Amino acid sequence: MLFSSFFKTLIGKEVTVELKNDLQLNGVLKSVDQFLNIKLDSIQVADIERYPHMMAVKNCFIRGSVVRYIHLPPEHVDKQLLQDATRKEATGGDKN
């Protein structure tokens, strides 16, 4: 829940999603869910000559299980908030 909440704060921002098959997609984060499935708008494909099938695609849904990395703009990440939320989640979870 923590990471999906974290990514919710990045909706509307530009991110780069790197898939396990090495495809890299830059786009605006439109939605994220509990499985960290991602929807991106206005995508740009790195090295698009390798991926001709992506030429016609402007928006996409990426299954969370195939994501390797999500590259974020550091200015949009509140590290202190993240750390606090992590500590809270760690203790809150163990108490259950």
Partner 1 sequence: MAAVPMPSTISATAALIDELDKKLICVLRDGRKLIGYLRSVDQFANLVLQDTVERYYVGNEYGDVPVGIYIIRGENVALLGEMDASADQSRFLKQVDAETILRKHAELPDADKRRTQGGDEYADMS
Q: Which residues sit at the interface with partner 1, rule CB under 8 A?
A: 4-5, 8, 11, 19-23, 30-35, 37, 39, 50-63, 65-66
The partner residues of 70 in beta bridges, in order of sequence, read 17
Q: Which is nearer to partner 1, 4 or 94 (CB)?
A: 4
Q: Which is nearer to partner 1, 50 or 71 (CB)?
A: 50
Measured from the CB of residue 17, what is the shortest distance to partner 1 in angstroms? Answer: 9
> Are the C-beta atoms of residues 23 and 3 closer than 8 Å to each other?
no
β-pairing, 67-71 vs 38-45, is: unpaired
Cα separation, 72 vs 5, whole angstroms: 15
Measured from the CB of residue 44, what is the shortest distance to partner 1 in angstroms? Answer: 13
Measured from the CB of residue 86, what is the shortest distance to partner 1 in angstroms? Answer: 19
> Are the C-beta atoms of residues 11 and 30 closer than 8 Å to each other?
yes
